[in-house]
Amino acid sequence: MAEERSGIKNSGLSAVVCAFTLLLICIMAFAIRLFSVVKYESVIHEFDPYFNLRVSQFLAKNGPYAMWNWFDDRTWYPLGRVIGGTVYPGLMLTAGTMWWILNSLHITIDIGTVCVFTSPIFSANCAWATFLLTKEVKGTGAGLTAAALIATVPSYISRSVAGSYDNEGIAIFALVFTFYLYVKTLNTGSLFWATANALAYFYMVCSWGGYTFIINLIPIHMLACLLAGKYSAHLYIAYAPFIIFGTLLAASVPVVGFNAVMTSEHFASVLVFAVLHVFALVAYLKRTLPPAALKAATAAILTIGAVGAAAFAFLLVGLVAASPTLGWSGRSLSLLDPTYAGKYIPIIASVSEHQPPTWPSYFMDLHVLILLIPAGIAACFMPLSVPSAFLILYGVVSVYFSGAMVRLMLVLAPAACILAGIGLSEGLHVFARSLKHGVVNMKEEIAKAGEEDEDEGAEGASKEVVKSGSKEGARDAAARASKKKSVKKRSWEKPWWTRSEGPIPFEMAAVGIALALLLMFFFVLHCVWASAEAYSAPSIVLASHNPDGSTHIFDDFREAYGWLRHNTDENTKVASWWDYGYQTTAMANRTVIVDNNTWNNTHIATVGMAMSSPEREAWKIFKSLDVEYVFVIFGGFVGYSGDDIAKFLWMVRIGGGVYPHIKEPDYLKHGSYRIDSGATSTMLNCLMYKLSYYRFADATMAPDGTSGYDRVRRTEIGKKNIKLRYFEEVFTTHHWMVRIYRLKDVPNRQKGARKKAAKAIGSPKKSNKLPKSASKRKSRIGGLRF
């Protein structure tokens, strides 16, 4: 069916054109992601990619076995982190393999460069995989359209620009490729493709935590097909080997381990596995037993099976209900119940990517595709086959999950491109067929008209011969007149609803194709604009425009990390909010307390408590963690709105979640966090406030006498004369965006320390008392009093 539609003449030329178009699509997919490399430099973006870069560098230097066994002591001090067991290794292994191949060919590319360009290469691969998947379901035309759409769709570009070295860059390719192999197995029923499907699923499990989408979507599809009565051998071969091999392979990945059989995310696959075997058994019995025996067997199975299933369900419900989250992980549960994270896990709720999307997110990320998706779904319904049902389910499920979390718009992107590609390609089929029929018929009719004119000419000649006979002349005249009436009108002179060639008339098809091309032009325009303006920002480097149009670059982050790298001892510990942990370990090469992995809520809460406490308590907390340097991000000088004061509410909430003496109302004035004169005294005394605004008033003296105007909060700060007694400022970057402080040391002699020690031991003060003059001497070494 698919092949009939791809062309009347399925010659080699069509295959060559198809391959060439696909090559152009892959080149477009690669090129549209290079804006940030062109605008700035070949640099890794954001936060998470820096950790992936560091692991890739370790892998390139020491090999894969060292990476499996790596225990990283330079992060989450003093806990450390088991890298081998907590990282999805697919991305690093992929980039490492490409680096190794290139280097063994003596193309000595640095691992950093390979990492920057991994995502664009794999997005080109994803376009090709989307072509294969859509071709399996609906034919070559739909395949090419879907591939062209996914090469440029902004939602996918946002997570796979050059420099965004993150799991999603290769995971989306793995996702589409796994789905392609699944549909191929459904269509062919061959065990070879089923094995390939399991191996592709293994690659997906290695790459991204979102593999649970596959292991839940395929069972849902399988269940829908079984309930619709479509059980067949192909279905069995597509599902059963995939589940067995796939689960075994997934359990081989250290990050997943026994989660593959114990968590609720995998539960659906096992359940549908059992259901599939029940259907298989029923089909087998129907084939082999005579009708009477079949009835008895059915009755027996139903009764025994009902009792057994009830007992099993009871046991299962008991097991699942024993876990407070019903066996689901926190992130998965927040997908099913979007209100969960806000109530119980503030860290998940604080990440901006985990918020639900608004309608402009959909339009910005998918543009005209959201208008085309219903047409694609309708095209999949007519006719409804097992693969097209899979596409419909994929679309519906991914639309729901993307509605729960903005980050998952990425999983919707391939489904949207495939369905929109199918819808668009159906329309283009109608137009193209009508054009073809219209042209062919026009040619035929012109040829036929030529023959009729010749006949009439011959008639005219014979008329003159018989002009003498009046009777014959009258008869001839009558014959000629009747012949004129019976001359058929050309098809393009008839009203369009009576024409019988293509579905719609030729002119309408021409207009339709022109308009469809115009629509695609606007889509590409939008995609290129979104890629250039919205999604190519490396957050490590910021840019703004001067009034004369030139760009001003803010490179403060790298300046600060470079300072740390060159001016501190190699084993010093640096504390900051968890957002900057990965960048600090990768670029500054110093040990950090907390980083973006956020696996230990209590440790993060400790840092949050320190940031929200007064200076002395904060000093003690940091000293207990062996920290020597603390840095904060401050945006008030230049107007950078993503600074630590803006994130302060999360420090209070997360800290307050673990340490009850941190109470959020202490920092709020009339329900909002304020730093101006209306701020609470707890806020004005906390470490974050002091470290952010130390010397700020002196540095921002305005001509009219005001000072300390915070450009982000748009107000003057409340406390301008800040003195630090336990910290000293060691470095502030050019635009004041990163401010590094050092903890002052404990002085050698402390006032009252001997009295305190004596009290603690319990011995009378008299015997240990020094002469009065000595004990009363004030100890002010370093200005610290303890």
Partner 1 sequence: MDPFYYLLQPLFLFLRPPKLRLRVPKVSLPSAMTVFALVLISYFFVISGLVFDVIQEPPGMGVIQDPRTGAQRPVVFMEGRVNSQYIIEGLSAGFMIVLGGVSLLALDAAADKSKGRNTRLGFLGAGAFGFWFSYQMAILFLRFKVPGYLVNSQ
In the bound state with partner 1, the residue whose beta carbon lies nearer, of 543 and 699, is: 543
Shortest spacing between CB 381 and partner 1, in angstroms: 5
In the bound state with partner 1, the residue whose beta carbon lies nearer, of 383 and 660, is: 383
Name the nearest CA neighbour of 388 among 358, 366, 348, 419.
419
Residue 751 burial by CB count (10 A; 0-12/13-18/19+): exposed, middle or buried?
middle
Question: What angle do the packed helices 369-381 and 359-366 form, to 10 degrees?
Answer: 80
Contacts of 192 (CB under 8 A, 6+ apart): none
In the bound state with partner 1, the residue whose beta carbon lies nearer, of 122 and 650, is: 650
Shortest spacing between CB 2 and partner 1, in angstroms: 19
Shortest spacing between CB 694 and partner 1, in angstroms: 32
Shortest spacing between CB 504 and partner 1, in angstroms: 5
d(CA 690, CA 723): 8
Shortest spacing between CB 257 and partner 1, in angstroms: 32
Shortest spacing between CB 225 and partner 1, in angstroms: 11
Contacts of 559 (CB under 8 A, 6+ apart): 733, 734, 738
Residue-wise DSSP of 233-261: HHHHHHHHHHHHHHHHHHHHSTTTTTHHH
In the bound state with partner 1, the residue whose beta carbon lies nearer, of 418 and 627, is: 418
Shortest spacing between CB 396 and partner 1, in angstroms: 6
d(CA 726, CA 617): 10
Shortest spacing between CB 46 and partner 1, in angstroms: 17
Shortest spacing between CB 266 and partner 1, in angstroms: 25
d(CA 191, CA 729): 66
Contacts of 450 (CB under 8 A, 6+ apart): none
CA neighbours closer than 13 Å in the CB half-sphere of residue 216: 16
Contacts of 188 (CB under 8 A, 6+ apart): 234
Question: What angle do the packed helices 506-529 and 140-152 form, to 10 degrees?
Answer: 30
Rg of the chain over Cα atoms, rounded to whole angstroms, equals 36
Label residues 138-169 b or e (16+ Cβ within 10 Å = b): bbbbbbbbbbbbbbbbbbbbbbbbbbbbbbbb
Amino acid in position 615: E
Shortest spacing between CB 623 and partner 1, in angstroms: 39
Tokens 């950093």, located at residue: 112
Shortest spacing between CB 731 and partner 1, in angstroms: 32
Name the nearest CA neighbour of 281 among 261, 303, 305.
305
Shortest spacing between CB 597 and partner 1, in angstroms: 25
Name the nearest CA neighbour of 51 among 24, 72, 31.
72
Sequence-separated contacts (24+) of 335-341 with Cβ below 8 Å: 335/401, 335/404, 335/405, 335/408, 336/404, 338/404, 338/405
In the bound state with partner 1, the residue whose beta carbon lies nearer, of 79 and 300, is: 300
Binding site for partner 1 (CB under 8 A): 39, 227-228, 296, 299-300, 303, 338-339, 342, 352, 355-364, 368, 370-375, 377-378, 381, 384, 392, 396, 399-400, 402-404, 423, 426-427, 430, 495, 497, 503-504, 519, 525-526, 529, 532-533, 545, 551
In the bound state with partner 1, the residue whose beta carbon lies nearer, of 75 and 332, is: 332
Residue 620 burial by CB count (10 A; 0-12/13-18/19+): exposed, middle or buried?
middle
Tokens 């012949």, located at residue: 483
SS (H, E, C) 429-448: HHHHHHHHHHHHHHHHHHHH
Shortest spacing between CB 353 and partner 1, in angstroms: 11
Say how many C-beta atoms besides its own lie within 10 A of residue 290's C-beta. 7
d(CA 609, CA 620): 11
Shortest spacing between CB 282 and partner 1, in angstroms: 16
Q: Is 74 strand, coil or helix?
A: coil
d(CA 227, CA 232): 12
In the bound state with partner 1, the residue whose beta carbon lies nearer, of 303 and 571, is: 303
Shortest spacing between CB 503 and partner 1, in angstroms: 4
Contacts of 288 (CB under 8 A, 6+ apart): none
Residue-wise DSSP of 272-293: HHHHHHHHHHHHHHHHHS-HHH
Residue 518 burial by CB count (10 A; 0-12/13-18/19+): exposed, middle or buried?
exposed
Label residues 401-435 b or e (16+ Cβ within 10 Å = b): bbbbbbbbbbbbbbbbbbbbbbbbbbbbbbbbbbb
Shortest spacing between CB 363 and partner 1, in angstroms: 5
Sequence-separated contacts (24+) of 648-652 with Cβ below 8 Å: 648/611, 648/612, 648/673, 648/688, 649/673, 650/346, 650/350, 650/608, 651/577, 651/607, 651/608, 651/611, 651/612, 651/688, 652/608, 652/612
Residues in the chain: 786
Shortest spacing between CB 90 and partner 1, in angstroms: 30
